[in-house]
Structure 1
Amino acid sequence: MSELFRQAGVQDAERLREVTFEAYSLIRELELKWPAANAGLDQIRDNITQNECYVLEADGVIVATITLSRNDEVKAITDLPFIKWFAVHPSEQGKGYGDKLLTWVENAIIRDQEGAHAVTLGTAEKHPWLLPMYQRRGYESIRSFDSGNGDGTMHLLRKVVNPELFANASEEQATAN
């Protein structure tokens, strides 16, 4: 079995729409207002061209996707990189593909390429297993809020991917305050 990590292109939009739509069925059932849950091809293409969308292929088929946001969604809260639109096709779940893709993005892209000390993502408390899953992966809630849109309590989570840089950044921030 061959596995390939790569950045997605617009030619991948149809498969990414399928992976995302199928993977986000529980999000729709929970009535969470997450854009990826009902994204059409135009939104998928926009996500690919306006952000950095990465995929994991297994034997030439895209099985998982994740996006490093280049928009200002959370810039008012943190200047750390923000990941979103994380999905594994349901037929491929439980095979470790999500773990592999997220780990690759955290290390190869966020830590090594971007040079960031940590990464952020958001999730809803209402979802039955996402928050505990991210916590097991070393993410910690740095802010919780209710936007009043029916999603309930949302958490902005952070994971330190470079402890030495994080310590230096924390020292600099403490000195500045």
Structure 2
Amino acid sequence: MSEVYRLATIEDVERLVYVTYEAYVTIRELDLKWPAAHADYALIENNIIKNECYVLEVDGEIKATVTLNKGNEIKFITDLPFVMWFAVDPACQGTGIGGKLLTWVEETIIRDKLGAPALTLATAEKHPWLLPMYERKGYARIKAFDSEKGDGVMHLLRKVVNPAAFEIYLQEHEQQIDNEERDNHTVSQ
């Protein structure tokens, strides 16, 4: 079995539309307003062009994808890298393929290439298994918020990928962290 980790290209759009759309069935059933849940050719192409969309190919076929957001959508909350659009071909869900890709992006891209101490992602509280899944993968909830898009409470999660660098980051961002914790405490009451 050959595995290749790489950036997606425009030639991958058709396969990524399939993988993303099929992986987000539960999101659509929950009526969450996430763009990836309604992935079409134009949306996937735009994602590849504007962000860093990574894929894991197994034996020449894309089986999983995750995107490192290059925009500023969450800069008002955190300056840490933000990943989104994590999707695994339904035929491969539960096999560990998605976890392999996510770990590779966390370590090879976020920690080693970007030199970031941690990364973030967001998910909905009402999804039945995403929060526990990410927590098992080492992510911790840092902020609860309502995006006012009809998705209910969303959670921003963070995973530390370089503990020594994260300690320095915490010292440099102590006030911001205090504000996040205070806001999170207020939302959870």
Q: TM-score, normalised by structure 1?
A: 0.97
- Partner residue of 1:49? 49
Question: Which portions of structure 1, spanning 4 or more consecutive aligned residues, are displaced by more than 6 angstroms?
Answer: none
Superposed CA deviations along residues 34-74 of structure 1, whole A, max 9, x for unmatched, are: 00000210110000010000000010000000000001110
Say yes or no: does 1:22 pair with 2:22. yes
Say yes or no: does 1:78 pair with 2:78. yes
Listed as ranges, the matches of 1:135-174 within 5 Å are: 135-174=135-174
Mapped partners of 1:58, 1:173: distance in 2: 40
Mapped partners of 1:143, 1:58: distance in 2: 35
Say yes or no: does 1:8 pair with 2:8. yes
Unaligned runs of 5+ in 1: none
Unaligned runs of 5+ in 2: 179-189
CA RMSD after TM alignment: 1.4
* Count of aligned residue pairs for this structure pair: 177
Compute the displacement of 1:25 (Å). 0.6
The one-letter code of the counterpart of 2:27 is: I
Q: Judging changes above 3 Å, is the alpha-carbon distance between structure 1 residues 150 and 108 closer, same or farther for their aligned structure 2 residues? A: same
> SS of the counterpart of 1:54?
strand
Compute the displacement of 1:175 (Å). 8.7
Mapped partners of 2:136, 2:63: distance in 1: 22
Superposed CA deviations along residues 112-143 of structure 1, whole A, max 9, x for unmatched, are: 00000000000001100000011111111111
- Partner residue of 2:34? 34
Identity %: 62
Mapped partners of 1:145, 1:175: distance in 2: 19
